Amino acid sequence: MANARSRHLKKPRPGRKLRTARLLIAKFAACLALVAAPAPRAPLSPIPAPIEALSVADEAFLDDLQLRALRYFEEHSDPVTGLTRDRAPIDGSGSTAPASIAATGFALTTWCIAADRNWLPRHEAIARTRHALRFIHDHVDHERGWLYHFVNITTGKRAWNCEASTIDTALFLKGALLAREYLRDPEVTDLVNALYARIDWRWALNNGPTLTHGWRPETGFIPHRWDSYSELLGLYLLGIGAPAQALPADSWNAWHRGPVVTYGSRTFINYPPLFAHQYAHAWFDFRGKRDRYADYWKNSVDATLAQRDWCADLAGKFNHWSRTLWGLTASDSARGYMDWGGPTGGSERLDGTLVPCAPGGSLPFAPRECLDTLRTMRATGGDKVWGRYGFADAFNPHTGWVSPDVIAIDVGITLLMAENLRSEFVWRHFMRAPEARRALALAGFQNTHDFPASSLALTTRK
């Protein structure tokens, strides 16, 4: 697929005075929304699930893993625009991939983690964040605030005739909100508020009860909708808590919680690739809280451990799979990009490939199981799998195939979830955002112990 310039006409870019005016309007809208926000039906006090104590060896391994991931974002984020490339070769050679707006959201969170761990001076984290937010606000193509999935890393113009993506804009926005809450820098705050306030959430409903996947200037709205369980949790919560043009609170009830499956002793809402159980949880802290349908934290724990059992049960087909060598989520493969996983993920497509960001992105859900597997992956794959930026995107121990690339969002989810396991950093700071707290209240989340025992079963109905 080749890069392509956007052919639709764009409005002239705002000058400094216009940008300042828009920032002031956004700041007023954000303040007004906070004043008008209803109180939660019940207080959401933090009731964190205990995180397993880590050994010195665990900490050393995670240090190495995160520092290699940080290197990716440092080497593949443009120093002028702040945008981050979608992927790059694992050996550190040059990449021609366009920037990914989701990858840039992971980068914004990465700078904050690095500053907090003294891997990056705080003033440098602020500078990088300002560069990215200014450029995105002023120059990156968007449609009613919805950012294009892929853009040229130096110009911000739409690439590959891609869509203005609802889910990728949400991933960017979560990273931006985390940066706002952690850095507490006035310019960062104003830019994040302006970017949030300009998103037209109701337009993206396209006269339906659920959000569309996105929009293209050539064909209009994508027909697919976010109408069943997936990585959509964070997308809807950001829309419900938005400072302007917010989604109605009832949109939380519009999507289907299913299918519910049972594998072994675990019953959970299933989506075979594990990323769907991870992305919202990288920022939103769902521990100790639930809505009337499910405990989404427990659901991700069960989905992770069920996949581990499923991989071990397939050891007769792939003799290198086991309870200490498992993990499947959307990734590269020898046959191209695959959206695969399990249980019940279509075993006919499986070829023995393993994906390190599957256990990497589930580190807080099953610390010991995921750490042991990541160590086994490093030992099994050696230098072909463990490189400059951490793990290759995927590898196949049976055939010897190794992806030549790393993918930014896969590197990013591993880095963020490793930090949540170690310090709860992302959760602590992101959950300070009033928009996040307001969204959970409007969606009907309550402390888990406040629900009667009779209501704790999974519910799939809208």
Q: Which pLDDT score, from 0 to 100, does residue 133 have?
A: 99
Q: Is pLDDT above 70 for 160?
A: yes
Percent of the chain at pLDDT exceeding 90: 83
Confidence of residue 344 (pLDDT cuts 50, 70, 90): confident
**Which of the residue ranges 6-10, 204-208, 259-263, 385-389 would you say has the lowest mean pLDDT?**
6-10
CA–CA separation, 267 and 305 (whole Å): 11
Instruction: Identify the CA nearest to 445 among candidates 151, 67, 42.
Output: 42
For 298-319, write each residue's pLDDT tens digit: 999 999 999 999 999 999 999 9
Q: What is the pLDDT of residue 451?
A: 73
pLDDT in tens, 373-392: 999 999 999 999 999 999 99
pLDDT of residue 452: 66
The rounded percent of the chain whose pLDDT value lies above 70 is 86
Backbone region of residue 400 per phi and psi (left: phi > 0; alpha: psi in -120 to 50; beta: other values) = left
Confidence of residue 320 (pLDDT cuts 50, 70, 90): very high
What whole-number distance in Å separates Cα of residue 280 and Cα of residue 235? 8
Which of 19-28, 61-70, 102-111, 204-213 shows the lowest per-residue confidence on average (mean pLDDT)? 19-28
Q: What is the pLDDT of residues 252-267, one digit of tens each?
A: 999 999 999 999 999 9
Min mean pLDDT across 11-25, 196-210, 331-345 is at 11-25
What does the alpha-carbon distance between residue 378 and residue 401 come to, in Å, rounded to a whole number?
15
How confident is the model at residue 449, as a pLDDT? 82
Least confident window among 48-62, 375-389, 414-428: 48-62
Cα dihedral 263, 265, 267, 271 sign: negative
For the chain, which domains are there?
51-455 (1.50.10.140)
